[in-house]
Structure 1
Amino acid sequence: MKSTISISEGARWVLAACVCACSGLATAQSALPIPAEVDAHALQATPDVEKSPEALAAYLTSGLSSDRQKARAIFRWITDRIEYDVASYFSGDLKPMDAAEILAKRKAVCDGYSMLFSQLARLANLQVKNITGYAKGAPSGRVESAQIPNHVWNAVLVEGRWYALDATWGAGYVDTAGFHHVQDDFYFLVPPERLLVSHYAVNDELGVERAANLDSAEFRRLPKPPARLMQAGFDGRTALEHARQNGFKRFVETFDLPYGSFEVLDAPVEYHLPRTSQRLLIHSNTFDQLAAVQGSNFSYFTPPHDGNFELTFQPESGPLYIMARRPDSPEFRALLGYLVGE
């Protein structure tokens, strides 16, 4: 959701458009942090090494010691340098381009992002797949459901495990004003099962859909996941099971906050809640105070222990927001949104 709700204690509500860049160099799903020097090296590429895929791959991966770092350098360069081709997408003029053409044009749609990543990765001796499938819940809201495949992304083998990688969604989002370059590191090396409710691979190259007994018809029935559902820490398998158990109703509302600023460890994934006791456990090293807010009523989480905030309470009927405040701010910002029934 591109609107965030801020609230000052004393109940001043503000609804404002917000775009938040995700700037972390380490991803929650990565076993090891990525040295900042890897990103810096990628972003320092000069025009002379960007003229051909071979020269670019050689530059990006020079001196790097691991496949994880090589994949990161390629991902970071693509998400910084390649702009989503809004005009071609909405006009339907989607001509296939090879890597050299994309480097010259500096624009692509999802198949171009995926193809460029895979070609550079193979030149760097990485094992990589191009995955075609269905997608819903994009950062732009462009693709919610479809009867034919509407998205392409990658899988890359790192340290003996296949990870999903989506350079298109990692590069930014599209709205009525066009494409906005906003780095989203969540889409770098994601355990593919975390994307069960947003990405469906037609050929199930990684066996994820088979393991979840998920077919394309059921995937299309799933509610549109908020763009930040998985970034907030919700597990794709858990979301899928809740959807099946609750008649494919709406997921919890999420908001545009930087990836890594908090992580849900335990909270309902469904939007509609009964008026019964609820337990929430959220980890954050960014915020110093969390509260469940209904109108002007605040129910505060316990002070953090090792960054973990916990609250067990019984909400009243009506809208419920889980909100947080930074140490340097007087305002609370929404993390999650629910609707509590009678």
Structure 2
Amino acid sequence: MQLLDPSGQRVARPELDRWLADVDGEGGARVLAGLYEDMVVIRRIDMEATALQRQGELALWPPLLGQEAAQIGSGRALRQDDFVFSSYRENGVAYCRGVNLNEILRVWRGNASSGWDPFEINMATPQIIIGAQTLHSVGYAMGIQFDGADSVALAYFGDGATSEGDVSESMVFAASYQAPVLFFCQNNHWAISEPVTLQTHITLAERAGGFGIPHVRVDGNDVLAVLAATREALDRARQGGGPSFIEAVTYRMGPHTTADDPTRYRDANELEDWAAKDPILRLEKHLESRGLLTQELRERVAAKSDEVAGVVRNGVITMPEPEAMDVFKHVYATPNSWLSRQEDHYRRYLAQFEHHGASAAGHVSGGQH
């Protein structure tokens, strides 16, 4: 399903058009400009983080290059009281949720075991275990049901995660209990080094049909199609219609992580073909065709990107090292004697080194490096 083709031309599709009243209405130019700015900014964040990793400032980074429309289109459809459970690549969604930019990169520098307070932005910290977040999202969605609220839980995962048992098990529970959860699969065609064609011989969206879950396959490089499809699925969940599954067909233009070399397994011609479908370029063409890509908009977006990049870079290189005892923070929601006993033992262990002229924190911090 598509609303903007690769040339930026609007495609009529009534079942999706009805969810874009704000885009097609009087303030549509402002909405489109906002989506464009979001995508350009998160690409800049992604590029800055990649550069920081190459320069030794980050240990690792999972690029989202090429997936901007899938993340912004879905992220901007959410309400603040919805709750997001993501993998490690949805930094664009985190941006939409209002995360502190410095907190996006803290865990990738190795300065913390978690990025941000989930309840400040209603988004769980990134899940590294492939597919596990789908189970968490269904459990949270069942809690929403018990509370009698109309918010929705949203699980983001990639095509590779659909081969994990956790995803299938989560869809069983979601369908059985009609939980208000949206499964959002970003099919970027490559699960590290395996193509999606090796994982499935039907569309990933069709798999959801086997569980009795309404599903749709959208052009993941079309921010308007993603926005509309996500709004429809969220509305269904709020009205008591249970779970939905969206397969956003996009492409991972960069490596799986900065430790990966995609040239070893991916044809350069394939990358070139998908580069022509670039989500930002597509929206640019649409804005140009409507006379909306003004010099003022270009300058504003460029200035915002520069500002964000500066915040990200400065936040990383000035990030304080963690104290030795910080390892005990945020392990449990409430204190308990078992953890307190370990903390006391560790504090007394560190105290042994103080008479050697180095602080305990300095000793351990140096040892970590």
Identify whether the pair has TM-score above 0.5, normalized to the shorter chain: no
Q: Which structure dedicates a bigger proportion of its chain to helix?
A: 2
TM-score (ref. length: structure 2): 0.28
Q: Which structure dedicates a bigger proportion of its chain to strand?
A: 1
- Pick the structure with greater CA Rg: 2
TM-score (ref. length: structure 1): 0.30
